[in-house]
Amino acid sequence: MEGLVNFEILFTTLVQNFGTWLETPMRAFTFLGSEIFFLLVMPALYWSIDPKIGFRAGMMLVISGGLNTALKMFIHTPRPYWVDGSVKAFSSETSFGLPSGHSQNSAAIWGMVAQTMRKRSAIIIAAIVVFFIGFSRIYLGVHFLHDVLTGWLIGILLILLYVKLEKPVGNYIQTKSLCFQLLAALMFSMLLILLGTLGQSIENNWKMPIEWINNAVSAGADAPDPFNLEGMITIAGVAFGFLVGFALWRFLYDTYEINCSPMKRLLRYLVGLVGIFILYFGLKLLLPEEPLMIGIVIRYARYALIGFWVTFLAPWLFRRLHLDV
């Protein structure tokens, strides 16, 4: 393992030696694989382009994001700049390294969008974007090559698994009552939190090498905090609200379609985006984050509201504003 790490450190420094002029474009590609970007793009797909693509992208966001967070905790491997001072930390990450979340999520989400569209151009564009997102993580010094390759592999496997199970699971869920569907959404959300909690329990039996912390700080990055559950709480909250809103809409209105002009599609996104910003920033300012348990509950509720806004409240508002036709 030490030999592999040494080789990949050498590979990372070689990539970084391409020059600092790459920092800006690599940061741009990294942003295309971030959860913040997907939280902005997924609603645009759902509200203004194609609900099927938007729903599938949203599901891949919570499934891949939740699984990745748990896997990092279970595997607990370092970032390159945690173990070798020769690696420049162009970006700062506090979670463990394997698998790369940006690589996994981008492969799963962009790949799912391309698979749904079934167009050669979409597949090519998705492949290029996913490649450079992964490459950017190596250049920025936050991932080893094997972190990126593993993330890509898991993302592809998740697409294959989702496509195989989507129809039978979807047909089964639709035959059940609304109460059952809401309970299933809650159980799925709680399962994500349980995975995070199990991963966090490793902390009691494993001690982080002090060298990792010292190297991270020396590189000018944040100190590692890899067992923090905030990310999983966020994903679980979004998943619950997203699925509840989707189930409630189907129960009340059956189908959700987009049959309006390009201008109205743009207005739908802008109106919906305002709602997300109000829920994200407004509630964050108004509601306390301490003490810890209250903060966790509030974070879960805030992100559940954001997910519910995407699949129910915003589409309901679009109808009221006559932006649906």
**Residues 188-214: tens digit of each pLDDT:** 999 999 998 888 887 777 888 899 999
**Residues 212-240: tens digit of each pLDDT:** 999 889 888 888 888 888 889 999 999 99
- Residue 185 domain-assigned? yes
Contact 304, 237 (CB under 8 A): yes
Three-state DSSP class for residue 254: coil
- Residue 298 domain-assigned? yes
**CA dist., res. 320 & res. 306, Å (int):** 19
Report, in angstroms and rounded to the nearest whole number, the Rg of the chain calculated over CA atoms. Answer: 20
Domain ranges, residue 90: 2-320
Q: What is the mean pLDDT of residues 290-310?
A: 84
- Residue 125 domain-assigned? yes
What pLDDT is stored for residue 143 in this prediction? 92
Question: How many domains is the chain built from?
Answer: 1
Report the share of the chain in percent with pLDDT over 90.
57
**Residues 168-184: tens digit of each pLDDT:** 998 899 889 999 999 99
Contact 269, 43 (CB under 8 A): yes
- Residue 325 domain-assigned? no
**Cut 0.75: pTM above it:** yes
Residue 171: burial class (beta carbons within 10 Å; 0-12, 13-18, 19+): exposed
